[in-house]
């Protein structure tokens, strides 16, 4: 069971948290302007890297707040966590940059 550091509450057991998939996805401002393929891309397609991944978690059985985490999908270790309103830490920035490049 992972130990995850909630940016508000501190380190807690994984059982207190819920998972929310890839972070920093931008909801399109005007979905009506998107064709079906572009809309489906937003709805259904996610990155699935081996290695660091920036994802969303929620402290369901704690403060009930959402936050972002950088987790290495290969070792299943959380590298960093941060609040949604914070500037992402370096570990997250590197991943996000890589994702943009990959698109």
Partner 1 sequence: MSTDLFRIPPELASPLEDIDRAHPVAFRFDGKRLRGRAGDTLASALLANGVHLVGRGIKYHRPRGIVAAGAEEPNALVQVGQGTRGEPNLKATQVALFDNLSAAPVNVWPSLKFDALAANELLSPLMVAGFYYKTFKEGPASWWDRVYEPLIRRAAGWGKAPPGPDPDTYEHTHAHCDVLVIGAGPAGLSAAKAAAESGARVMVLEDDARPGGHLLARPRRVDGRPGHQWAAETAAALAAHPEVRLLTRTTALGVYATAHVTAVERLTDHLGPGAPGPRQRLWHIRAGRIVLASGAHERPLVFADNDRPGIMLAGAVGTYVHRYGVLPGRRAVILTNNDSAYETALALLDGGGSVVAVLDTRREPSGPLVEAVRARGVPIRAGYGITGTTGRGRVKRVWISPLAEDLSPRIAETTLDCDLVAVSGGFSPVVHLWSQGQGKLAWDDRQACFVPDPARPAVEPISVAGAANGCFELAEILAQGANAGAEAARAAGFTAKATTPPGVEAPPATPPAPIWLVPSDKPPGEGVGKHFVDLQNDTTAADIALAAREGMTSVELMKRYTLAGFGTDQGKTGNINALAILAHELGKPIPEVGTTTFRPPYTPLTFGAMAGRQVGALFAPERVTPMHDRHRARGAVFEDVGPWKRARYYPEGGEDMDAAVARECRAARQAVAVLDASTLGKIEVEGPDAAAFLDRVYTNTLSTLGVGRIRYGLMLNDDGRLMDDGTVTRLGEDRYLLTTTTGGAATVMDWLEELHQTEWPELDLHLTSVTDRWAVAQVAGPKARDLLAELAPDMDLSAQALPFMRFVEGTVAGLPARVFRISFTGELSFEVAVPWSVGGALWDALFKAGGKHGLTPFGTEAMHVLRAEKGFIIVGQETDGSVTPLDLGLDWALGKKKGDYIGRRSLARADLARDDRKHLVGLLTEDPGEVLEEGAQLVDDPDQAPPMTMVGHVTSSYMSPTLERSIALALVARGRQRMGQTVHAPLADGRVVKATIVDPVFYDKEGKRRDG
List residues near partner 1 by CB under 8 A: 1-3, 13-14, 18, 20, 27, 30-32, 34, 36, 39-40, 43-44, 56, 58, 60, 64-66, 75-77, 84-85
CB of 4 to partner 1, least distance (A): 8
What distance in Å separates the CA atoms of residue 33 and residue 14, rounded to the nearest whole number? Answer: 39
What distance in Å separates the CA atoms of residue 81 and residue 70, rounded to the nearest whole number? Answer: 6
Closer CB to partner 1, 30 or 48, in the complex: 30
**Count of C-beta atoms within a 10 Å radius of residue 68:** 22
Inter-residue contact 62 to 16 (CB < 8 Å): yes
CB of 84 to partner 1, least distance (A): 6
Closer CB to partner 1, 75 or 97, in the complex: 75
CB of 20 to partner 1, least distance (A): 7
Closer CB to partner 1, 9 or 101, in the complex: 9
96 is written with which tokens? 């996000």
CB of 89 to partner 1, least distance (A): 18
Of the candidates 7, 1, 5, 98, the one whose C-alpha atom is nearest the C-alpha of residue 54 is 98
Backbone angles phi, psi at 22, to 5 degrees: -55, 140
């Amino acid at each position: 069971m992972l130990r995850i550091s909630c940016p508000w509450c501190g380190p807690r057991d994984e059982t207190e948290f819920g998972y929310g998939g890839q972070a920093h996805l931008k909801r399109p401002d005007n979905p009506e302007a998107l064709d079906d393929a572009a809309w489906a891309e937003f709805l259904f397609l996610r990155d699935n890297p081996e290695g660091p991944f920036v994802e969303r978690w929620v402290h369901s059985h704690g403060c009930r707040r959402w936050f972002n985490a950088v987790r290495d999908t290969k070792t299943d270790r959380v590298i960093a966590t941060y609040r949604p309103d914070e500037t992402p830490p370096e570990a997250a920035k590197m991943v996000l940059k890589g994702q943009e490049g990959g698109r």
